[in-house]
Chains A and B, each alone.
Chain A
Amino acid sequence: DTGVSQDPRHKITKRGQNVTFRCDPISEHNRLYWYRQTLGQGPEFLTYFQNEAQLEKSRLLSDRFSAERPKGSFSTLEIQRTEQGDSAMYLCASIAGRTDTQYFGPGTRLTVL
């Protein structure tokens, strides 16, 4: 069990560009969460998958954001037409079965210039 991994760890992009992040959860964890964390704040919930089904989306997830988990394993988070306000740390977490303990990945830090 290698833990939750995220790629890339850092991404610098220009405003208006599209970016995509990947999250690989802990093996056999069926639930996967995305959070966003801005400087000086705690993480805020974005969206959640159970297997391949996206079950909930936060109001923070504007129509420029899309997340997928096509085979119920890894997940991608895409941001289209990035804005400077999208600069943040994007965190992924996974959870097994009916337990309540979420394990977080190291995050992807996005900087939009």
Chain B
Amino acid sequence: GQQLNQSPQSMFIQEGEDVSMNCTSSSIFNTWLWYKQDPGEGPVLLIALYKAGELTSNGRLTAQFGITRKDSFLNISASIPSDVGIYFCAGHTGTASKLTFGTGTRLQVTL
């Protein structure tokens, strides 16, 4: 099935550094969501974006809905060890709200 293009695939950063990742699609989406998944667990919602150009924060996380509606960005500031995990973007067009997910960005944080 279709998967969104997410980059980078993996990141190794030091504690305290800022992180940026992005997600692109060939199709327009009406909603963008960012999830974090720990090993053996289901995805946990971090941020939801509903309007083109929207910039939303959740603590140290900030995400933006691209104005073309074909991309989204997630930034994590001042990373900490518990930020380790796989981050997925997901979008939907509104039809039945089924989600199309990205391929994931694996984040490793070193002390």
Contact = CB atoms under 8 A, between A and B. Distances in A.
20 contacts: A6-B42, A33-B97, A41-B3, A41-B103, A42-B6, A42-B88, A42-B101, A59-B1, A91-B42, A93-B99, A95-B97, A100-B92, A101-B33, A103-B45, A104-B35, A104-B45, A106-B41, A107-B41, A107-B42, A109-B40
Contact of A31 (B31, B48, B88, B97): B97
Nearest to B2: A44
Interface in B26-65: 31, 33, 35, 40-45, 48, 50
Interface residues on B, range: 20 to 34
Interface residues on A, range: 20 to 34
Contacts of B92: 100
Interface string A99-113: 011111111010000
Nearest to B104: A42
A102 to B, nearest CB: 6
